[in-house]
A and B are shown apart, each in its own frame.
Chain A
């Protein structure tokens, strides 16, 4: 029987560890990024760059979201939501593992002039960072600075953090008051109430803790997260009842756990012990056999392998017990071989290949929820669910993302260079025409013509020379009148020309009269033409200057682009080498942790096999004595 007690202690211990792992995993899934996302989605975006970053962020493309915000910083655009954008950037830095940059940005934001709402969110974010890093005093102090309601999702998380801080100080009444007032629909409330219940039970406040766990254990759960929490509450309560020798109450809680859920093995094992506690040995075998049929290599199954013969031995069925102990020893041998194979598979890269396949097949969030599919993952489910290992996987994914990003740029460079070459060629083709259009000689010749015209107008005005403004037809008339006057002069000695002279004088007079009287209007028109010419010339000068500027600027831009492109390829190539080295090291780190976890399991199984053989030896003795 003492062996049984040891088993019971064993499953309690392991299940306790598992509970913490599970809770850690669940908490990881509702990390700051998700909570921040919910809150940010509640107001309309008025900043395109910020909106674009959010679009990437909500799809969990951290690298793309950060890059978008960094690009926006360099663009001379209006940023109506710059504080929100910076808040998001600081949060993203944190999620991306750039803790110092995150803290620095938060501190910078606090020193800037920001609205109360932004300031409260900064306090909250900083408090959360401190809480995550275990700096609880600072977290408490920062939370106390929040002087107004946060957006609903953040408000629920704020209360969750405060509840956790109260629990750390064993201030149960405050934790109860605060958490009971939280929004029922928020998952944070369930977390807060669960933690309160566990803390109270651990602090010998069993009745209060039991009441809370019972409530959570009977929740109408819909989401995967709620279902997991409900199972967790029922398992914790069931194990507590077992510890208190209340097997019937334990069965009630354990029966609420889903058979297809991640805690089903623990529930089956504990159910067996509950029946055993009630003295119902046959009924105890039912859940254990179900567990054995699942053939999993986990602590609950291993405990069940030993629990069955132990049960038979307790009820005096020594032959059956012997057979099952012999089977147990064989099963442990088989499990040890399986684990040896798993280690070999990890050493040969099996786990890494599975991680990579998951990266290709699934998005980030599902990668965190779904373990990679490989022959070693059944042996690693505890490790895969742990927050620390998830962090290692995330770092590996980050490195894969970086490698893809660098590959993209490496592949893009030929296209960028071609684009630059084509633009330069097109510009070179247009250059002669541009130079001709904007040449100084051409503009100088035009200016000279304008000056001569202006000088002529000045002279006409000074002399009142209305004849100079005669149009070509009038000029022709004047010339003809001159020729007629010469003709009259020639024939005047031989013939009376007084009539012709009178006619000539009359016609000349009319023409001069017309020209003289029309002179002001004609002079004004000429002046107007000069003004128009001045304007056109000024415009030509400006346009030529602008074109010359654009030509210089474009030439300069090409040089600038060349400078920006040159050196980048060597930068990329050096980064690619570094990322490749770091990927290898990170793979080794993941493999090392996985192998260590499996070796831990092996040690545990070796101990269990030893127990089985020891019990077998005892049984052989008993049987030989009987004979």
Chain B
């Protein structure tokens, strides 16, 4: 049996937690923006994303990223991350600064392909970095007709 005092205390606690959550959300938003603006100014900002479209023909294990033949990131996937990607989530693999001009971005995907065989494929894209923030998205697609995974790359405007 909950006493009236306990119920009142509980309500006060609920309101305090709700107020705190709202303040923390606002703080997090402000600080994330500040961090990004400070560490990655708009004119040099460059990000790489990964998404899956279907993804039943390729079980992703890891991805390696290179810019102009220089290794910049490696990522090893957990089941939860893969599940999130399969269900439509988009992962930011990398954010950094890049000088204006042409650059080659290469992503090397490792995992299990059709027939349960080890599978390793690279996909590259040449981008022309401007003074605006630029985003590149790699997508792993199922090519049902060829029964093979396809790897796509595009620059977001």
Instruction: Give A contacts to B, CB under 8 Å.
Output: 37-38, 40-45, 48, 51-52, 54-59, 63, 66-67, 70-71, 74-75, 78, 96-98, 101, 363, 395, 398-399, 402, 405-406, 409, 412, 416, 419-420, 423, 561, 564-565, 568, 571-572, 575, 578-579, 582, 585-586, 589, 592
Contacts and interface: CB of A to CB of B under 8 A. Distances in A.
Contact of A51 (B29, B88, B157): B88
Interface of B: 6, 10, 13-14, 16-18, 20-39, 49, 51, 53, 80-81, 83-92, 135, 137, 156-157
Listed residue (B17, B20, B39) with the most chain A CB atoms within 10 angstroms of its CB = B17
A97 B38 CA distance: 32
Given A44-B53, A564-B34, A589-B10, A571 B27 contact: yes
Given A67-B32, A363-B80, A405-B28, A582 B20 contact: yes
Nearest to B6: A592
Contacts of A101: 22
A409 B28 CA distance: 8
B99 to A, nearest CB: 15
Given A54-B87, A67-B25, A74-B29, 15 more contacts: A40-B88, A45-B51, A54-B90, A55-B85, A55-B89, A58-B87, A70-B26, A70-B28, A71-B29, A416-B35, A416-B38, A561-B34, A568-B30, A575-B20, A582-B16
A48 B135 contact: yes
Contacts of A399: 17, 20
Nearest to B2: A596
A423 B43 CA distance: 14
Listed residue (B6, B30, B32, B89) with the most chain A CB atoms within 10 angstroms of its CB = B89
B90 A568 contact: no
A98 B90 contact: no
B7 to A, nearest CB: 12
A511 B13 CA distance: 104
A561 B18 CA distance: 29
Contacts, number: 142
B27 A71 contact: no
Listed residue (B21, B32, B33, B86) with the most chain A CB atoms within 10 angstroms of its CB = B21
Contacts of B89: 45, 51-52, 54-59
Contacts of A592: 6
A63 B28 contact: yes
Contacts of B83: 58-59
Contacts of A419: 38-39
Contacts of B92: 52
Given A565-B34, A568-B30, A571-B27, A54 B10 contact: no
Nearest to A592: B6
Given A97-B17, A101-B22, A416-B38, A67 B84 contact: no
5 contacts: A38-B87, A45-B89, A48-B90, A74-B33, A568-B31
A40 B87 contact: yes
Contacts of A575: 20, 23-24, 27
Contacts of A564: 30, 34
Listed residue (B26, B28, B37, B83) with the most chain A CB atoms within 10 angstroms of its CB = B28
Listed residue (A45, A55, A402, A409) with the most chain B CB atoms within 10 angstroms of its CB = A55
A51 B49 contact: yes
A57 B86 CA distance: 13
Given A45-B51, A416-B34, A420-B38, A582 B17 contact: yes
A58 B21 contact: no
Contacts of B24: 63, 402, 405-406, 575, 579
A41 B86 contact: yes
A395 B51 CA distance: 32
B113 to A, nearest CB: 22
Contact of A402 (B20, B26, B31, B86): B20
Contacts of A565: 34
B137 to A, nearest CB: 7
A395 B17 contact: yes
Q: Top 7 nearest A-B pairs by Cβ distance?
A: A51-B90, A55-B89, A41-B87, A58-B84, A70-B29, A41-B88, A54-B89
Contacts of A40: 87-88
B81 A67 contact: no
A416 B28 CA distance: 15
B140 to A, nearest CB: 13
Contacts of A59: 80-81, 83-84, 89
